[in-house]
Amino acid sequence: MPTSSESHHPADEISRQRRWGKPPWSDEAFPSAPLDPSHADVAIVGGGLTGVSAAYHLARRGLRASVFEASLFGDDASGRSGGIVLEGTARGVLPGTGQCIEKLQEVVSAEKIDCDLQLQGCWEIEHAREAQDRVLPWRDGGLAIRVRQSVAGGTLNPMGLLAGLARAAARAGATFYERAAVRKIVRGVRPAVELDGALIQANYVVAAVNAWTNVLLPEVRPVRSALTTACATQPLSAPALHELGLGAGARPFYTVDLPYLWGRMLGQNQVVFGAGLVFGAAPVLEGVDLADDEPRQALEQLEARVRALHPALSRVGFAAQWAGPVAIADNFAPLIGRLPDAPSVIVAGGYSGHGVALSVWMGAAVARAIAEDTALPGWGALAG
Ligand SMILES: Cc1cc2nc3c(=O)[nH]c(=O)nc-3n(C[C@H](O)[C@H](O)[C@H](O)COP(=O)(O)OP(=O)(O)OC[C@H]3O[C@@H](n4cnc5c(N)ncnc54)[C@H](O)[C@@H]3O)c2cc1C
C-alpha cells in the first residue's frame, strides 16, 4: 500500500484507475471536456452525486458551474453505492432533510433519468433471540433476523442516477473535467482551485470530496474514511428466492443493530449484500487492491456470512465483488457549511454510508445557499 510523503502529493494517488473491483451497474457515458477554463462562477471539486447535484442545481439557476474530478466519474462512492434510497441522514431526519426522497424523485422525473428508481420501501431488520421471522427466515451468527418495520425508501441504479444527473447538468450549461485533481483550494474574497498547471478563479468553491475531505481541508470536523465491501449473488431460482423471503414484494433491507448488513434485489433474481469496513486515510485506501489481505478477508467474511443466512444460500456463487469508500462523520452528522475564514468556500460530505438521496439534497442546498445567499443548516457546521 502506498503512503503519502512530502514529495508525493496525496492527490497523485487519486488520478489512477481504482482497483476496488467492479460493481454490477451498467457502464455509462459522462460528459467531459478538455481542461481549459480560467474562470468559473462556481468551481466544484469532486464529481460524485454531491458535486454533480450542486452543478445541476446551479446551472438550472443560470450559474456557470465547473466540476473537477480527480479520477473517472462514477469510480468513487457514488458509482459504487448499493443504491438503496434512504430518507434523512445517518443521524436521523435532521431539520430540512425530511424530504430527500421526494426531491430525488422530482429530479429523476423532471430530467427523465433512466436509473430504475423504485420506491417500494425498505425493511429495517434486527437480530433477535426468538424463533425465526415469517418474512425473512434467516439466521446470522446464531441469532434469528426479524423485520422490525418498513420505512420509506427503495432502490435505484446509482451509476444511472449519477450519469443522468451529469448529462442534465451539462444540458443546463455545467462543464465537467475528468482526471482533473485539485491540489489546493486557494482562499480569498474570490477563491480559486489549483490544478497541475492551472489556477481557476471562481466566485465560490464547493468541496464535495467525501472520503478526501480532511486531505483537502485538514481543519474541518474530522471525517473517518474506510472502504466497505459488497457482493452480488449469481442468479437464484424463483423457489429459492421465495424460501428466502425475497420473492414478490421483497424490499431492500439493512440492520439497525450490529453486526451491520445491508442488501437489495438486483433485477429479478440476484441479491446484493454489503458489510465490513477497512479503515485508512483516503490516500492509503486509494492504493488498496481488492485482492489485498484486509479487503479480501472482509469480502470472504461477508460471503461466508451470506452463505450461512439460509440453506438456500449455502452454495451460492457471486457474480460481482467490489468495495468503495465511506466517509464517517463525528456523531454521524454530515458536514455542510462555509469555511469560517473563507465563506465563499462551501464543504458538503461525510454521509456515513447514507448518501444516495441525501447527496442530491445536499447539492441542491449548496446551490440555493450560493444563488440566494442563504444560511446552511446549523447541524452541518464544519468546526471540530
Ligand atoms: C459500497 C458502498 C455502498 C453504499 N451503499 C449506499 C446505499 O445503499 N444507500 C445510501 O444512501 N448510501 C450508500 N453509500 C454511500 C453513498 O454512496 C455516498 O454517501 C455518496 O455516494 C457520497 O457522494 P459524494 O458525491 O459525497 O462522494 P463521492 O461519490 O465519493 O465523490 C467524491 C469525489 O471527489 C473526488 N475527489 C476527491 N479528492 C479530489 C480532488 N482533490 N480533486 C478532484 N476530485 C477529488 C473523488 O475522486 C470522488 O469522485 C454506499 C457507499 C459505498 C462505498
- pLDDT tens digits for range 62-72: 999 999 999 99
316-347: b (≥16 Cβ within 10 Å) or e: bebebbbbbbbbbbeebbbbbbbbeeeebbbb
The model's pTM: 0.96
Long-range contacts of 23-26 (CB under 8 A, 24+ apart): 23/79, 23/80, 23/159, 23/230, 23/320, 23/322, 23/324, 24/232, 24/266, 24/270, 24/272, 24/319, 24/320, 25/79, 25/83, 25/157, 25/158, 25/159, 25/160, 26/157, 26/159, 26/160
The verdict on the CB of residue 325 being under 6 Å from ligand 1 is yes
Q: Give the atom of ligand 1 at the shortest distance from the alpha carbon of 326.
A: 53
The verdict on the CB of residue 122 being under 6 Å from ligand 1 is no
Mutate to test the pocket of ligand 1, among 44, 101, 212 (most ligand atoms within 8 A of CB): 212
Distance from residue 324's CA to the centre of ligand 1 (Å): 8
Q: Residue 223: pLDDT above 70?
A: yes
Which residue, by CA, sits nearest to atom 35 of ligand 1?
46
pLDDT in tens, 125-145: 999 998 777 789 999 999 999
Greatest C-alpha distance within the chain: 65
Q: Residue 318: pLDDT above 70?
A: yes
Q: Give the atom of ligand 1 at the shortest distance from the alpha carbon of 264.
A: 8
pLDDT in tens, 243-263: 999 999 999 999 999 999 999
Distance from residue 25's CA to the centre of ligand 1 (Å): 15
Q: Residue 43: pLDDT above 70?
A: yes
**Any bridge partners for residue 68, and if so which?**
45, 177
Distance from residue 328's CA to the centre of ligand 1 (Å): 11
Q: Residue 177: pLDDT above 90?
A: yes
The verdict on the CB of residue 50 being under 6 Å from ligand 1 is yes
Q: Give the atom of ligand 1 at the shortest distance from the alpha carbon of 53.
A: 25
Among the ranges given (11-15, 187-191, 361-365), the one the predictor scored with the smallest mean pLDDT = 11-15
| Cβ within 8 Å of residue 9, ≥6 positions away | 183
Average pLDDT over residues 337-357: 96
The verdict on the CB of residue 324 being under 6 Å from ligand 1 is yes
Q: Residue 2: pLDDT above 80?
A: no
Average pLDDT over residues 325-350: 96
CATH of 121-151+224-329 given 3.40.50.970, 3.40.50.300, 3.30.70.3150, 3.30.9.10? 3.30.9.10
Among the ranges given (98-112, 125-139, 291-305), the one the predictor scored with the smallest mean pLDDT = 125-139
Residue 194, classified by CB atoms within 10 Å of its CB into exposed (0-12), middle (13-18) or buried (19+), is middle
The verdict on the CB of residue 367 being under 6 Å from ligand 1 is no
Cell digits for 332? 454521524
The verdict on the CB of residue 310 being under 6 Å from ligand 1 is no
Q: Give the atom of ligand 1 at the shortest distance from the alpha carbon of 252.
A: 8
| Cβ within 8 Å of residue 102, ≥6 positions away | none
The verdict on the CB of residue 60 being under 6 Å from ligand 1 is no
Please provide the average confidence, as pLDDT, over all residues in the chain: 93
The verdict on the CB of residue 80 being under 6 Å from ligand 1 is yes
Mutate to test the pocket of ligand 1, among 159, 183, 210 (most ligand atoms within 8 A of CB): 210
Average pLDDT over residues 265-292: 95
Which residue, by CA, sits nearest to atom 21 of ligand 1?
78
Q: Residue 191: pLDDT above 60?
A: yes
Q: Residue 10: pLDDT above 80?
A: no
**Model confidence at 17, in pLDDT bands (50, 70, 90)?**
low
The verdict on the CB of residue 23 being under 6 Å from ligand 1 is no
Q: Residue 9: pLDDT above 80?
A: no
The verdict on the CB of residue 252 being under 6 Å from ligand 1 is no
**Any bridge partners for residue 195, and if so which?**
182, 198
The verdict on the CB of residue 326 being under 6 Å from ligand 1 is yes
Kindly state the percentage of the chain with pLDDT values over 70.
Answer: 95
Cell digits for 353? 454510508
Average pLDDT over residues 326-347: 95
The verdict on the CB of residue 264 being under 6 Å from ligand 1 is no
Q: Are 240 and 78 a contacting pair, CB within 8 Å?
A: no
**Model confidence at 14, in pLDDT bands (50, 70, 90)?**
low
Which residue, by CA, sits nearest to atom 37 of ligand 1?
209
Q: Which CATH class is domain 11-83+158-220+331-380?
A: alpha beta
Residue 378, classified by CB atoms within 10 Å of its CB into exposed (0-12), middle (13-18) or buried (19+), is exposed
CATH 3.50.50.60 domain span(s) along the chain? 11-83+158-220+331-380
Average pLDDT over residues 266-275: 96
Alpha-carbon distance of 131 to 151, in angstroms, equals: 23
CATH 3.30.9.10 domain span(s) along the chain? 121-151+224-329
Residue 384 confidence (pLDDT) = 67
The verdict on the CB of residue 349 being under 6 Å from ligand 1 is yes
Q: Residue 28: pLDDT above 70?
A: yes
